[in-house]
Amino acid sequence: MPTITLPDRSTRRFDGPVTGAEIAASIGAGLARAAIGIRVNGVLCDLGEVIETDADVAIVTQPRPGQSPSDDALYLLRHSCAHVMAEAIQRLHPDVQLVYGPPVEQGFYYDMRLPEGQTLSSDDFPKIEAEMARIVAEDRPFTRVSLPAAAGLDRLRADGSRYKIDNAERAIAAGSTELSWYATGTPGKDWDDLCRGPHLPSTGRIGAFRVMSLASSYWHGDADSDRLTRVYGTAFFDAAALDAHLERLEEAKRRDHRVIGRQLGLFHIDEMVGQGLILWTPAGAIVRQELQNFIAAELQRQGYSQVFTPHIGKLELYRTSGHFPYYRESQFTPIVEADALAMLAREGCSCGELSNRLADGTVDGFLLKPMNCPHHIRIFASRPHSYRDLPVRLAEFGTVYRWEQSGELGGMLRVRGFTQDDAHLFCTEEQVPRELEGCLELVRIILDTLHLTDIRVRVGLRDPDSSKYVGDPAEWDKAEAACRQAAESLGAPFTEEPGEAAFYGPKIDFVVRDAVGREWQLGTVQVDYNLPRRFDLSYIGPDNQPHRPVMIHRAPFGSMERFCAVLIEHFAGAFPLWLAPEQVRVLPISDRSEAWAKHCLAALAAAGVRATGDFSSDRIQARVRDAAEARIPCLFVVGPRDEEAGTVSIRARGIQRDLGARPLEEAVRAIGEEIRTRGSRTLLATCFSEVAVGAGAAAPGKA
RNA sequence: GCCACCGUAGCUCAGGGGUAGAGCACACCCUUGGUAAGGGUGAGGUCACGGGUUCAAAUCCCGUUGGUGGCUCCA
């Protein structure tokens, strides 16, 4: 006699064992039609799951057209579609051995082992999709069959799939007492697959799908194990949702910072210079410099001190900090002095031995700095400090070098040399909360100014069951409370993630979602008890005794490279006026207006505006188009009429028409105002208040 | 790092065992045009680099280098 409690806390009693489908039907016919699965006491199950005892049950439904699906609904859909794809591939290639096929964020994949000599290619996708369409059209039920573990293993051994046997053995080792199969249709007659489930009620619920790409992978992710073929696909409840997804992917491609970076000449990565090493070209350098100027002004306001430190330091420094040899794999190889190297060579020292001697300190050398903190710490330690000096805030756009695996590198998002907008705050225990708030204030200003509104904050706390953390638990409690409070002060959604703290202290990370929905970790604020101890830092307190300062590491942008990559994609290359490499372009209608155009350019230059003139012999239509493709925020089109009246005809990016003429001085003043206020008082608002604004920043490829 | 795919003009790409093609960009000429491509002419490539096979290699093979995607979320 199970009593079922629904999410609204209402209850229903049933006379005997009841399935999810029956519960849904008891509530309403519409719900029964929409139901595709259930959650029983928090566990996602098939709609046909039989419930025999009292339970909390939530019905998982497929979304109405236009409604966005729940995570559970997508999970069921995509997991089921992975089966359909596997069945389709096995129909076409019967010798394929299946390995593992889970849903993932954007769809699903299936790993499989192809017989020696056989390959899949994207040419096979239409055939696979045609088979899948047939299976979906047949609307066959997903039918679960369970066997006790031993019997299940016997069956698998008879089938002879070593991968599935391994999967089952792992499941049993993890505590499973039975093994389950899902048949698409009738067990024993139709195709089936060892699978934990759950699944949709039937294949017909899969509204729209697409085989996306091929990749290779390893069994268990182990490079020494079998190489597998991974087929990626995606699925949605209806064709419109699939189309929207594909359109988003297209949009992402158009916004890719590597594509726009080349088009607009923002940066270059050169084979001869090296992988993952960014060359900032003149236009990109302007964007970066403007960002740095922006943040430097805020740092000055907040009482930071600017410092400069070199790109290398002695290994001993990093032994003290703990970066070497602990993080050796993610660093460039140390630099050994020529004399020392020559001596070691004479002694016949092997590379392995050299490596050991560098690690144990019997040979010294230099390291390209993987972090800025040791240098800043030595600045702090270079003179005694009173509690009255604190907090000491040392800031530097510091370039660091890290050895990323070649396969991980990508554009400016993952690189081997990057510049952090770094700072280290040395303060007393009591000052930590106030300093954290200051850091978060900075982050808020940056994100607001750049309209990066969709931000998520992660507060990394210690795992209470672990002993890997340094520092006094009472200090941790205070620091964690301060982080939580600071995160709250930001007014953005935040999650607390136990176990995600660094071993030396809790941290606050900022994750932004770009225009196409991808998440990127940018800035970070971290409390550190470890390094002050390792470097034996101290200040003299009011009691005339030495005390240990607490350090805060913070980099609101994270790295200039990654941040600019995200910004390029966020704005689709259409930077706001204050950041744009070229802010205004002056276009004379014909060479008869060249003199007036040059006069306008001089006025813009005098006001500190980055402006150029296009004096080419193309027609004005062509030059307007060129300027639009170059994402120039503002165009002055000037002809004889303007010259006579002392005006410029203004066209702003994102608004595809002539806005009208304004006196040159007024236009230049308004542009200067927009630049100075970093967009809070725009040219449009000042000169063309009747024009609907807001179209400027986010319109990719149009102006 | 490992695996798959890829590298042809500045860019986007076609072609493919008998030494090279388009569009855009570039240069020059004509056009003097009021808001997203006016017309013509021309220049531009050791087909990523190195080696091999071959009468002959950009094309086939091997190596290197660089790029792109991927490298478990218990069946």
Q: Which ipTM value was assigned to this complex?
A: 0.91
| Least confident range of A36-50, A108-122, A318-332, A594-608 | A108-122
Report, as an integer, the average pLDDT of A129-152: 92
- Report the C-alpha gap between A565 and A569 in whole angstroms: 6
- Reply yes or no on whether the pLDDT at A9 is more than 70: yes
The separation, in Å, between residue A469 CA and nucleotide B73 C1' comes to 27
pLDDT at residue A391 in the model:
95
Count of other CB atoms within 10 angstroms of residue A43: 10
A288: number of CA atoms within 13 Å, CB side? Answer: 24
Calculate what percentage of chain A has a pLDDT beyond 70.
96
Q: Could you tell me which of A291, A332, A331 has the C-alpha nearest to residue A559?
A: A291
Q: Hey, which residues of A are catalytic here?
A: 373, 402, 420, 422, 424, 507, 553
Q: Is the peptide bond before A198 cis (omega within 30 degrees of 0)?
A: yes
- Reply yes or no on whether the pLDDT at A471 is more than 80: no
Q: How far is CA A131 from CA A86, A88, A89, A212, in A?
A: 10, 5, 8, 15
- Is the torsion defined by CA of A444, A450, A456, A461 positive or negative? negative
Q: How far is CA A424 from CA A22, A33, A215, A368, A374, in A?
A: 61, 59, 42, 19, 10
As beta bridge partners, residue A321 has: none
The separation, in Å, between residue A596 CA and nucleotide B25 C1' comes to 28
pLDDT 10s digits, A46-78 = 999 999 999 999 999 999 887 889 999 999 999
- Reply yes or no on whether the pLDDT at A515 is more than 70: no
Report, as an integer, the average pLDDT of A534-541: 95
pLDDT at residue A670 in the model:
97
Report, as an integer, the average pLDDT of A204-228: 82
The residue written with tokens 């051995």 in the block is: A97
Instruction: Give the angle subtended at the CA of A545 by the CAs of A541 and A547, to the nearest 5°.
Output: 65
Q: Could you tell me which of A601, A307, A566 has the C-alpha nearest to residue A426?
A: A307
Nucleotide of closest approach to A631 (CA, C1'): B36
Calculate what percentage of chain A has a pLDDT beyond 90.
56
- pLDDT band per the 50, 70, 90 thresholds, residue A658: very high
Q: Which helix (H) or strand (E) holds A304?
A: none
The separation, in Å, between residue A594 CA and nucleotide B45 C1' comes to 38
What does residue A189 show for φ and ψ, rounded to 5 degrees? -110, -50
Nucleotide of closest approach to A100 (CA, C1'): B75
What does residue A376 show for φ and ψ, rounded to 5 degrees? -65, -35
Q: Which two tokens stand for residue A239?
A: 């064709």
The separation, in Å, between residue A120 CA and nucleotide B53 C1' comes to 29
- Report the C-alpha gap between A267 and A90 in whole angstroms: 46
Q: Which two tokens stand for residue A44?
A: 């996602």
In one-letter notation, the amino acid at residue A641 is R
Q: Which helix (H) or strand (E) holds A429?
A: none
Classify residue A348 by burial, with Cβ atoms within 10 Å: 0-12, 13-18, 19+: exposed
In one-letter notation, the amino acid at residue A347 is E
In terms of pLDDT, which residue wins out, A390 or A693?
A390
In terms of pLDDT, which residue wins out, A70 or A215?
A70
- Reply yes or no on whether the pLDDT at A406 is more than 90: no
Report, as an integer, the average pLDDT of A291-304: 94
Mean pLDDT taken over chain A: 89
pLDDT 10s digits, A195-213 = 888 999 999 999 999 888 8
Q: Which two tokens stand for residue A381?
A: 């330690």
pLDDT 10s digits, A75-126 = 999 999 999 999 999 888 888 888 888 998 888 999 988 876 677 776 677 7
Q: Which two tokens stand for residue A326?
A: 């602990």
Nucleotides of B under 7 A from a protein CB: 1-5, 7, 11-12, 29-38, 65-75
pLDDT at residue A210 in the model:
87
- Reply yes or no on whether the pLDDT at A336 is more than 70: yes
- pLDDT band per the 50, 70, 90 thresholds, residue A502: confident
Cβ neighbours for A532, distance < 8 A, ≥ 6 positions apart: A377, A426, A548, A549, A550, A551
What does residue A436 show for φ and ψ, rounded to 5 degrees? -60, -40
C-alpha Rg value of chain A to the nearest Å = 31
Classify residue A235 by burial, with Cβ atoms within 10 Å: 0-12, 13-18, 19+: buried
Q: Could you tell me which of A460, A462, A463, A467 has the C-alpha nearest to residue A483?
A: A460
Nucleotide of closest approach to A643 (CA, C1'): B34
- Report the C-alpha gap between A454 and A452 in whole angstroms: 6
pLDDT at residue A117 in the model:
63
The separation, in Å, between residue A109 CA and nucleotide B25 C1' comes to 41
Strands (E) in A556-642, as ranges, are 584-588, 611-613, 634-638
- Report the C-alpha gap between A551 and A443 in whole angstroms: 18
- Report the C-alpha gap between A448 and A421 in whole angstroms: 18
Count of other CB atoms within 10 angstroms of residue A490: 18
- Reply yes or no on whether the pLDDT at A695 is more than 60: no
Nucleotide of closest approach to A587 (CA, C1'): B35
Is beta strand A305-306 parallel, antiparallel or unpaired with respect to A392-401?
A: parallel
Residue with minimal CA–C1' distance to B34 is A589
